[in-house]
A and B are shown apart, each in its own frame.
Chain A
Amino acid sequence: MNIKKITTRFKKKIKKIITRDKISTILFLIIPIVFVIIFIYICIIWNIVVSLSDWEGLRPSYNFKDFGQYIKLFTNKIFLTSLWNNIVLILIFVPGSLAMGLFLAILLDQKVRRENVFKLIYLFPFTLSFVVTGFLWRWMYNIRVGVLNTLLESIGLGFLSNKWVQDVDFAMFWVCVVLIWQYSGYMMLIFLAGIRSIPESHIMAAAVDGASSFQTYYRVIIPQLKAPIFTGFVILVVFALKAFDLIFILTGGGPGYATEILPITMYKEVFNKKHFAYGSAIATVLFLLIMIIVIPYLYSTYGGKKNERN
């Protein structure tokens, strides 16, 4: 047998494997892909269709009304309030969690004894269900007998006792505090991994140049944390738009509409008032807001480089 014959036979065999593989690959992927198509893409499109209809009440109705629901949306006070609350949430919660996370990461980076114990404790709030956080903080924030007010009273700081989330003007702020409490540990984890991945030589070089440890952080370490800061930012903003469970339990959107955000307004419109079309218009706005952030992020993380390689 000459070499040529062997190679052609080998090629044929490979070809056969490839065509057989194609069919089995399709069979292999069919269940998860069908799940994704139905439960994500069809549902999203379906939801948009509902938002263009006049469906109110329990029975589905698909008489199309064009963008009527959207026009109603942007003239509705409750919708605009909850959109604004979502923005406030982003403006306080996102920088707050990033700063606290970075601060904790820097604290833990000081060759701390029992580092792992502290890490375990700081990350603990993030592992709790939002349902649990909601209940724990209702107790913390209870005005009459709650933890914070009685604690402040007992250490002589009674004048600091507060109405917390019952205070219409500051309710959103106190909601943000709870979320920062829950997310700081997670951000710490991301930043700590970022700090630890900076080559020792960079830090040594700064030390040799006589940089104080504050300067080292400010000029050498933090500038190199762009990637984790960006990742953290995206995670936090997306979460701030989606947050539902915690606020639903902690305040239910109240007092009044002081802490109502889009996901809660949508839920109430649909499942309490049965305004299906209107609620799905809110959901569509929410979806678009999130995609504006997520698509560029996914593209920058997975798009460019991978395509070149293929």
Chain B
Amino acid sequence: MKEIKIGSKKMRLPHPTRVLLYFLLIFFAFLALLPLWSAVMTALKTQEALIYSNPIQPPIKPSLDAFGTAFNKLRIPILNSLTFTIPATILSCVLGSMTGYALTKVKFRGANTIFLLVIVGIFIPYQAVLIPLVQIIIELGIYGEISALILTHTAYGVPICTLLFKSFYDSIHDSLINAAKIDGAGIWRTYIHVILPLSVTPFVVAAVFQFTQIWNDLLFGLVLSGAGSNQPASVALLNLQGGFVTAWNVQMAGTLWYTIPSLVVYLVLGKYLVKGFMAGAIKG
């Protein structure tokens, strides 16, 4: 390796392959971030500035007008999205945790079969259940209501949550549960007093995962929310670009507003989200 002297310190010239390595790493990082970068730059421009600059240039005079316009249009939908995402996340996590626990720690015949039948639900294309689902929701009289989305997202969240919790409960030692059993605790008491206090990590993992999934959903929102005022943010965003003039700065600002909650979750709780992705990958 070549060495050059600068002052008294020896400094190594980086090996050409290392230079290439970092060049590639930075190039791919650039590609990964380019769409977001240009969205932010575009959203910060006024309509006139948009014409006279290219989409990745920072604006000369940043303007928040586009963010304001987009916010006015998306404020209610974003609130709607929060109103169903949060309860559906909590409910599907609780149900997933109960199923995961019962299928790992309560020994009974057929537990593995039930488990397999539950996690098939992770893979099914939602198109294959869409027509009956809409019928059920209409029959229940909640079509177009927020509660329709809570129910749907909870139900279709059960399989993935079961998988996430089961892979965690598999690692808990049976002796802990047997000890509780000998003390006379039934399944409910064992679950509440022994299992739940141990489940903070899988709850965070599953909750972060579910929040992202439900927040990002489009299909259920499209077919269940009706034309009324209960549309989720994803559907409202789709309608935002349906206007006759395509104001790119407003569109990008709207997209960014919609991204913020999941982006914050990723930046703050990314570690747990990665765990969820991995559990979903290694097993499901």
A interface residues with partner B (beta carbon < 8 Å): 17, 20-22, 24-25, 28-29, 31-33, 35-36, 38-44, 46-47, 50, 60, 104, 107-108, 110, 112, 118, 120-133, 135-140, 142, 145-147, 150-151, 153-154, 181, 185-186, 189-190, 193, 228, 231-232, 235, 238, 241-242, 244-245, 248-249, 262-263, 266-267, 270-271, 276, 279-280, 282-284, 286-287, 290-291, 294-295, 298, 301-303, 306-307, 310
Contacts and interface: CB of A to CB of B under 8 A. Distances in A.
Interface string B244-267: 000010011011001100110010
B225 to A, nearest CB: 13
Contact of B130 (A112, A283, A303): A283
A123 B125 contact: no
B36 A298 contact: no
Contacts of B212: 127
B132 A283 contact: no
A270 B234 CA distance: 20
B158 interface: yes
A303 B191 CA distance: 26
A136 B255 contact: yes
A40 B274 contact: no
Interface in B128-161: 128-133, 135-136, 152, 154-156, 158-159
A294 B123 contact: yes
Question: How would you classify the secondary structure of chain A's contact residues: helix, strand, loop or mixed?
Answer: helix
A127 to B, nearest CB: 5
Contacts, number: 270
A301 B167 CA distance: 13
B75 to A, nearest CB: 18
Interface string B71-110: 0000000000000000000000001101100100010110
Contacts of B186: 17, 20-21, 24
Nearest to B266: A127
B218 A310 contact: no
Main SS of the interface on chain B?
helix
Nearest to B121: A40
Given A249-B238, A287-B124, A139 B39 contact: yes
A242 B112 contact: no
Of all A-B residue pairs in the complex, the 4 with the closest CB atoms, nearest first, are: A129-B216, A43-B129, A46-B132, A287-B128
A258 B269 CA distance: 39
Nearest to B216: A129
10 contacts: A32-B162, A123-B270, A128-B259, A131-B234, A135-B241, A140-B38, A142-B248, A145-B55, A245-B219, A271-B222
A306 B55 contact: no
Contact of A290 (B42, B99, B123): B123
Contacts of A231: 281-282
